[in-house]
Amino acid sequence: MNGRNVATWRQIAANKMAMAGGAMVCVMFILAMIAPLLSSDPGAVDISRQLQPPSFHALLGTDDLGRDVFTRIAYGARISLLVGFVAVGIATVIGILLGALAGYYGGWVDTIVMRFVDIMLCFPSFFLILAVIAFLEPSIWNIMMIIGLTGWMGVARLVRAEFMSLRNRDFVLAIRSLGASDRRIIFRHILPNALSPVLVSAALGVAGAILTESALSFLGIGVQPPTPSWGNMLIVGKQTLGTAWWLSFFPGVAILVTVLGYNLLGEGLRDALDPRLKR
């Protein structure tokens, strides 16, 4: 690790917001990792344990079918994190490729890419996702693909702006004068210097993807039962809100902590990595 990377990590470690967000994210990662180690089966039905409140035998209580809420939240964490990372990964790859082409070449390439971005931004993302899902089978894989394919526009605009500011720098002109190909210049020399805002956008994008998946599952067109998801757990909680508060409270807290963690992490990374924000 070179001196620049060490200095960057020190800046991030010194940022309390980034560390608080990172701690929340780590808690959810640990919860997702221990899910297979839990003795309870997230789909095991036991009517004799129906709607038991939180206790020593069921830390977060049980639902209307006697299933352990803590186990289902742990498995739901795996679903949410999978959706968040895969969807943001798809969006980031598309955004980087299109943004790099538009920012590096400019001219008619930039015009075509940015007009396409403008067209995509005309449609509200959530309603666009609803419209697409209406024609597809609701599944976790379809949700990840759709969120990713409708969430790349912000990344493309960030990467384009960074490439436009870097493409005429002295180090790029020197590399070009040595006969380096456009592909080498884009991916080996410019892109590594343009990734800071992309990392911030990705952290915030994971939070948005998790919220979108939870909302779709809550509406019944996302992850389908019996697969546990925080969104479809809230449906059960909504039906028994007056008698079993824990069914809504704990999945809601899981969504809150995860989304808040990624938002804090993204804001902290922005403060640590953006030299214009340093006092």
Average pLDDT over residues 67-76: 91
> 133 lies in which domain range?
78-273
In a domain, 201, yes or no: yes
Average pLDDT over residues 149-158: 91
Average pLDDT over residues 205-234: 87
pTM (predicted TM-score): 0.86
Token pair recorded at residue 161: 């702006």
Rounded to whole angstroms, the Cα distance separating 273 from 8 reads 7
Residue 240 DSSP SS3: coil
User: Is the pLDDT score of 5 beyond 80?
Assistant: no
Token pair recorded at residue 252: 């809601």
pLDDT confidence bin for 168, thresholds 50/70/90: confident
In a domain, 232, yes or no: yes
Token pair recorded at residue 53: 């409140």
In a domain, 128, yes or no: yes
Q: Is 67 exposed, middle or buried (0-12, 13-18, 19+ CB in 10 A)?
A: buried
- Quickly count helices (H) and strands (E) in the chain: 12, 0
Indicate the average pLDDT of the chain. 85
The answer to whether 149 and 163 are in contact (CB under 8 A) is no
What pLDDT does 77 receive?
92
The number of domains in the chain is: 1
In a domain, 263, yes or no: yes
Q: Token pair 């759709």 is at which residue?
A: 146
In a domain, 126, yes or no: yes
What pLDDT does 44 receive?
80
Rounded to whole angstroms, the Cα distance separating 18 from 203 reads 11
Tens digits of residue pLDDT in 94-153: 999 999 999 999 889 999 999 999 998 888 878 878 877 778 777 788 888 888 988 899
In a domain, 25, yes or no: no
Q: Which segments of 15-152 does DSSP mark as H helices, in order?
A: 16-34, 69-105, 107-121, 125-133, 140-149
Q: Any idea which of 10-14, 32-36, 126-130 has the lowest mean pLDDT?
A: 10-14
CATH number at residue 221: 1.10.3720.10
In a domain, 225, yes or no: yes
In a domain, 59, yes or no: no
pLDDT confidence bin for 279, thresholds 50/70/90: very low
Instruction: Tally Cβ neighbours within 10 Å of residue 171.
Output: 12
What pLDDT does 8 receive?
66
Rounded-to-10 torsion of CA 169, 175, 178, 182: -100
